[in-house]
Amino acid sequence: MDLQLAGKRVLITGGSKGIGRATADVLADEGCDLTLVARDQGALDEAAAAIRGRRQVNVRTISADLSSDAAVRRVAAEAGELDVLVNNAGAIPPGDLLSVDDARWREAWDLKVFGYISFCRVVYAQMKARRMGVIINIIGAAGESFPTGYIAGAAGNASLMAFTRALGKGAPADGLRVVAINPGPVETDRLVMLRRAEAQAKFGDPERWRELTANMPFGRAATPKEIGNAVAFLASPLSAYTTGTVLTINGGG
């Protein structure tokens, strides 16, 4: 299926690994020109080289910590005009109310919550001036399931869900769309690392980590590419009537 995305300029935060990297691969296959943003320049260079080796698209990289508004504005200025913004950077630590202290909570929200909001603010204004563009926020299903042991993430994700719906509700008047995706468990390098450690503790064998996903829907976690495919569709003109929507991809769990 031609998603009509060839030549679109896309910026992906957290674009060097996991969901961000898989999204970059999918959008490169659709002919998009990419700007990948992450903290680790080495990981960015590796991702960009791999994409350029597969597809004849432009791939730029910008190394940045997006936990401050000043950094967000610098990256946005360097990136220039965008057709699509994919907010994906950030991970909020697990823990209940008494185990996540203020410093860890605020540090995580500065990147995942306020970083998303800051990037939306800057890029939305640029897109509004041209009356075209799509913003996609990769959030997380904890914003719907409210796990006590992931309270900072549940609260932050729920906030971003409301933010997306509120911004997306008014976006059509400006010629724009704003949507979000809530992934459930996704087989990223980080998830595999955690499952391997869990399998070592439980079974004495890290290679048995897939046994820990057997009770998930379809007997597995989602793949990063499955999330990337959804990003591409939502970014495309084929989804032109979709805004203010949060798509949950968790296998029905």
Instruction: Return all residues near 244 (Cβ < 8 A) that are at least 6 apart.
Output: 164, 165, 166, 167, 168, 169, 171, 178, 179
User: What does the block give as tokens for 181?
Assistant: 């995706």
Is position 150 annotated as part of the catalytic site? yes
137's enclosing H/E stretch is: strand 134-138
Instruction: Give the span between the Cα atoms of 193 and 161, in whole angstroms.
Output: 28
Our separate counts of H helices and E strands in the chain read 9, 7
User: What does the block give as tokens for 225?
Assistant: 């590419």
Instruction: Give the span between the Cα atoms of 169 and 165, in whole angstroms.
Output: 6
181's enclosing H/E stretch is: strand 177-183
Choose, from 116, 124, 150, 241, the residue flagged as catalytic.
150
Catalytic residues: 150
